[in-house]
């Protein structure tokens, strides 16, 4: 377990054989390339969130709570959920360390999102779908709780894997990050999501595909 500015990070822990949270401290990395990439990611997510200007946000797959904590600090009513009880305990601890409401973080499987208690003006599900065996079912579950906006983001392949290899990571798996079992190009991901949502805006912060969507 790592701590980044008092933020507990899973750092490759597994629960029930599944990698949870962040495999490494990407937000606090000293690597200049990683820092450049994360700045682009954060700028893109902030832009799309600003377009919606939501009163409520539900971050599905919140991990250790990095983004949910940021939104709570801005005064946005935010709920964070994750399938992992271990990582939710980290998120609650991170919230308490910042004197933010820890009860806003709950254990919830993405496939079992509740249309009443889990709904929000904006649902955010970033860097989650690539870990799932049933991404189509997950998108249907997100459709139940997005009222009406959704932001989804996944690695853009094969660029993601190529960049991992360029920094000497996961070479035996051809750059594929541990736990990633789905791989989409930008075009393939847009096609998948547009079956259920209208695509409002497409951002491509290197090396991700990030979509702002609205219920059809």
Residue ranges of domains in the chain: 31-215
Q: What gap in Å lies between CA 16 and CA 53, rounded to an integer?
A: 37
pTM of the model: 0.88
Residue-wise DSSP of 45-87: HHHHHHHH--SEEEEET-TT-HHHHHHHHTT-EEEEEES-HHH
Digit-by-digit pLDDT tens for the chain (216 residues) are 333 456 666 555 666 666 555 655 666 667 787 788 889 999 999 999 999 999 999 999 999 999 999 999 999 999 999 999 999 999 999 999 999 999 999 999 999 999 999 999 999 999 999 999 999 999 999 999 999 999 999 999 999 899 888 878 888 888 788 788 999 999 999 999 999 999 999 999 999 999 999 999
Q: Is 97 exposed, middle or buried (0-12, 13-18, 19+ CB in 10 A)?
A: middle
CATH topology assigned to domain 31-215? Rossmann fold (3.40.50)
């Amino acid at each position: 377990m790592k701590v980044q500015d008092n933020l507990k990070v899973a750092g490759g822990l597994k629960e029930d054989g599944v990698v949870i949270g962040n495999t490494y401290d990407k937000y606090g990395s000293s690597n200049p390339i990683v820092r450049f990439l994360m700045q682009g990611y954060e700028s893109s997510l902030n832009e799309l969130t600003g377009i919606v200007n939501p009163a409520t946000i539900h971050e599905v797959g919140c991990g250790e709570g990095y983004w949910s904590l940021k939104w709570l600090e801005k005064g946005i009513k935010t709920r964070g959920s994750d399938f992992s009880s271990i990582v939710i305990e980290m998120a609650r601890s991170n919230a308490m360390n910042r004197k933010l409401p820890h009860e806003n973080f709950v254990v919830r499987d993405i496939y079992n999102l509740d249309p009443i208690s889990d709904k929000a003006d904006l649902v955010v599900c970033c860097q989650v779908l690539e870990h799932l065996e049933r991404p189509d079912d997950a998108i249907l579950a997100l459709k139940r709780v997005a009222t009406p906006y959704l932001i989804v983001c996944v690695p853009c392949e094969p660029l993601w894997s190529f960049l991992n290899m360029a920094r000497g990571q996961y070479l035996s798996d051809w750059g594929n990050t541990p736990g990633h079992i789905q791989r989409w190009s930008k075009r393939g991901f847009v096609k998948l999501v547009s079956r259920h949502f209208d695509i409002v805006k497409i951002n491509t912060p290197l090396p991700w595909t990030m979509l702002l969507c609205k219920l059809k």
